[in-house]
Amino acid sequence: MADITGDKNTPFDYKQIFDHSPIPYWIYDTETLRFVAVNKAAIDKYGYTEEEFLSMTIRDIRPAEDIPLLEDAIHRTDTRHKDWRHRNKAGDIFFVQILSTNVNWQGHEARAVKVIDITKRVEAERRNTLLYNEVLRQKDQLEMINASLTDVVWSAEMGTFRPLYINAACEKMFGYTVEEMMQDPNPLFGIIYHDDKEKFKEGIQRMLATGSDESEIRILHKDGTIKTFLVQGHVRKNALEGMPDILTGIIIDITGLRKAQNDLQEKAEEMQAILDGITDGFYTLDNEWRFTYVNPALAQSFAVPREAVIGKKLLEATPQLEHSIFYPAMAEAYEKQHTTYAEGVAPSNGRIYFCTFYPIKNGLAVYSVDVTEYKEKETLVERQNQLLREIAHMQSHQLRGPVASILGLAQLVNADNFTDPANKELIQSIIEATRALDDVIKHINEKTSEAAEG
């Protein structure tokens, strides 16, 4: 045990070192825990006077909640090299490291303590711990996000293209595990469909030249199927000198999208073929009433090339339509969003059309049927029906008079004596009635011929 007595006969005055040290020092009695000596640095650090210090114990410079820890450490003699929280006279709490040793102070067991303020270090460590925990949290979050991604995220060393990272989505998209992909020195190039390998190389060259690229390539899945992917890549400059730059990117499976687009394109081509092939007119207008489609039948009937009207506004291409019977029906269909109909003579060619106007998502669709021949036949049929009605009227009314007259006169003829003078007059009347009947029959025949000729 060191002897610190303050005796002037001591060969080396240790009290000088104690008093003038820039580091806070004190000595406390191990039995009572009272301060028995403090240096000026301790007085300056804690704000107590020497007299105040000597009336206190080492408990008085601790936060109340730390005293049980102090008591436990004293019983275990575990205060020689330990980090603690201390409190100064103003109530400020700071962190210290305690270095202590047992000494003899004027015949009593004591402990000499050197106090090093480590508040900045503790706060820095705390900040580092918080930062480290935040990094871990973000790393876990990123790994969780990557694990849930259906797209492949990748990175590779530029120049060698050695894989640095690839997420677990590769197994579903390519059929290969992360380990299999990472063991391959150039995993992506190995699974690219042979017809697209040159396209992939060109994409890499563009990425190296411009810093980024996006290419659509086909990849051969492990099960032998061919899938279509969108490969996006970027060059990330490495901040560390001498370290190679890194290629990073994402791979998106667009197989279903391309199939849907192809199916939609086929359906669109099929629909256009149907519309192009129908003999009735069909066209569509957008929300500004510009022609977006005109089928060949309509273009042919109006003798206007489709290219001449596509993109033009309706009244710009056909100004005479504004004052026709069709325009109000078109406006109603567009404004009220329901189907309307109109029939009339087209001002452009004088033919009769029956038009249906359908509101569509981005404008209006028009279906036009040329009914000119039908209307002409309808008129002819109506004329024939009128003639047949006249014939029927003649047969039911005009024929009855002459026939009734003939029958009546025939009954008055004296069949027993043809030389009866009255017969002569009756026969003359029968002849006149027969002539009238013949005229009616001739008239009927004329009407019948007229109806037949149509």
Q: What is the pLDDT of residues 272-301, one digit of tens each?
A: 887 778 888 899 999 999 999 998 888 887
- Least confident residue range of 108-112, 237-241, 346-350, 357-361: 237-241
**Contact criterion met (CB below 8 Å) for 150 and 169:** yes
Confidence of residue 256 (pLDDT cuts 50, 70, 90): confident
What secondary structure letter does DSSP report for 244?
Answer: P
| Structure-model confidence comparison of residues 311 and 273, the more confident one | 311
Report percent pLDDT > 90 for the chain: 33
Residue among 71, 74, 94, 92 nearest 84 (CA): 94
> 217 phi and psi, to 5 degrees?
-135, 160
DSSP notation for 367-388: EEEE-HHHHHHHHHHHHHHHHH
What are the boundaries of each domain within the chain?
2-117, 149-259, 278-370, 379-453
Asked if the model's pLDDT at residue 50 lies above 80, the reply is yes
Pairing of strands 93-105, 2-3: parallel
Question: Could you tell me how many residues make up the chain?
Answer: 454
Enter the CATH code of domain 278-370: 3.30.450.20
Q: Kindly state the average pLDDT of the residues 133-146.
A: 80
Rounded to 5 degrees, φ, ψ at 72 are -65, -40
Task: Quote the CA–CA distance of 156 and 234 in Å, as a whole number.
Answer: 10
Q: Does domain 149-259 have CATH number 3.40.50.970?
A: no
In this predicted model, what pLDDT tens digit does every residue of 73-88 receive, in sequence order?
A: 887 755 555 789 999 9
Q: pLDDT tens, 177-211?
A: 989 988 888 887 888 999 999 998 898 888 888 88
Residue 370 pLDDT:
87
Provide the pLDDT for residue 1: 44
Are 204 and 160 within 8 A, CB to CB? no
- pTM of the full structure: 0.44
Residue 295, both tokens: 């089928």
- The residues, any chain, with a CB within 8 Å of residue 332's CB and separated by 6 or more, are 338, 340, 357
**126 token code pair:** 């705390």
Amino acid at residue number 343: E
CATH code for 2-117?
3.30.450.20
Query: Contact, 45 vs 26, CB < 8 A?
Result: no
Q: Any alpha helices (H) in 149-254, and if so which ranges?
A: 169-174, 178-183, 187-191, 197-210
* Residue 337 three-state SS: coil
Q: Would you state the pLDDT for residue 168?
A: 87
Taking phi first (over 0 means left), then psi (-120 to 50 degrees means alpha), and beta for anything else, what does residue 337 get? left
Query: Hey, what are 373's tokens?
Result: 């021949």
What is the distance between the alpha carbons of residues 3 and 5, in angstroms, rounded to a whole number?
Answer: 6
Confidence class for position 42, pLDDT limits 50, 70, 90:
very high
Distance (Å) of CA 124 to CA 116, 119, 395: 16, 8, 123
- pLDDT tops 70 at residue 13: no
Residue 97, helix vs strand vs coil: strand
Same fold, 2-117 and 278-370: yes
Residue 163 backbone dihedrals phi, psi, to 5 degrees: -65, 135
* pLDDT at 418 (0 to 100): 64
